[in-house]
Structure 1
């Protein structure tokens, strides 16, 4: 009886460890890199370069995850983290000496189409993750404020991994933070000036009227007042700065 009880207890311990490793602890190595080298959305690429082996280890742990074993929100958060972590890796492969993510590509292939992102199911590109998984699978336009393209005009890189348990609140916060930055959204000259993300991915927001409604939903009182007072719902898209989002 004692031996059987001990075996059962050990099994419960192993099960609890497995559950823990499938949760936030899974992202601990990546979390440590973000907390040490991402501040206010800007990345300390020099410091991160010195810890590239740690990033490689974190990427290997991500690649070992079976996304199908995760809940919907955990899976959604997982793929966001995959996209952002592999974007960091892409920059580090060319750092120093790179001033824009576009320089990580070539005349024949954009950096987003390079097949180098390792998943349990195989190796894919950043475009495959964003346009083949994140957008069609989860159909949540807030994802555009969570994935980061290592550029100044991109929504800022979060200083911690996304987690399924807090994903909805985190996506709301990311959208609100980006929209209420006066550099990204302001009303002037009879038009609402917005990020070009809303042009490129307008269909994800429901078209131009959907874009207006989405921004109004997250606008702070001052911006919301200007939008409500506007005679016409005219959008103007801001230039996009592809400069590296380094510190």
Structure 2
């Protein structure tokens, strides 16, 4: 027996509704990143200001379409990482030019953007949402607009690419000699690994174990360890 047309139509409508609810379109942000962030992660803040209409279109999309319960973990994670990075760009260009994000008053505590009628700060997104995913790789994806931060990826995170991209970002950051120096004799790592030390204690391991998952040169027990100075100058 043939399925009645109205049932097929109803099923199609329900599928479209669910699909649209669980797949946020980050293409506007993706295009802005491709145009204004280099392969090395240098940011053209003037370019973002020239393309501000696209940027504000994305802010509107973020504000009106927060993650829903039926979104996958990956889709939620991608949404909040992109939101953090996009609103960091907004924070900078709203006061541009400046030499460092730390020249701003309380840059991570300032509630300057709304998502679904609720005011948020960058600190809210990082500490109340992103860190609660329990995935330390997020620290290599969110960017604080500074040279010692992990580089800004010039593509948008999505539900389909986020896991692979987080591994790539972690590997890139850990093996970048400007951010971490790892040799058989001396180890000087980013202060990110002390600021968020407890986040890297996953699966019974510690910071060293996490770094060694991605490092081309492994940290040995006898290595002399220290931390690099953090360069807060603007990543432009």
- Using the size of structure 1 for normalisation, the TM-score is 0.84
Aligned to 2:94: 93
Over 4 Å off, 4+ runs: none
What secondary structure sits across from 1:36 in the alignment? helix
Aligned to 1:218: 214
CA separation in 1, counterparts of 2:99 and 2:30? 25
Aligned to 2:158: 163
Aligned to 1:27: 26
CA separation in 2, counterparts of 1:68 and 1:235? 43
Report the number of matched residues.
229
Aligned-pair CA distance for 1:234: 4.0
Aligned-pair CA distance for 1:159: 0.8
CA separation in 1, counterparts of 2:159 and 2:134? 16
CA separation in 1, counterparts of 2:120 and 2:223? 40
Say whether residues 1:200 and 2:195 are aligned partners: yes
**Contact 2:141–2:150 at 8 Å: present in 1 too?**
yes
Aligned to 2:222: 232
The C-alpha deviation readout for 1:136-179, integer Å capped at 9, x for no partner, is 2x011111000000100000111111112222111110000001
Say whether residues 1:140 and 2:135 are aligned partners: yes
5+ residue gaps in structure 1? none
Aligned to 2:147: 152
5+ residue gaps in structure 2? none
CA separation in 1, counterparts of 2:66 and 2:182? 45
The C-alpha deviation readout for 1:1-50, integer Å capped at 9, x for no partner, is xxx737844872684376257425x1111111011111121111111111
Aligned to 1:67: 67
- Using the size of structure 2 for normalisation, the TM-score is 0.88
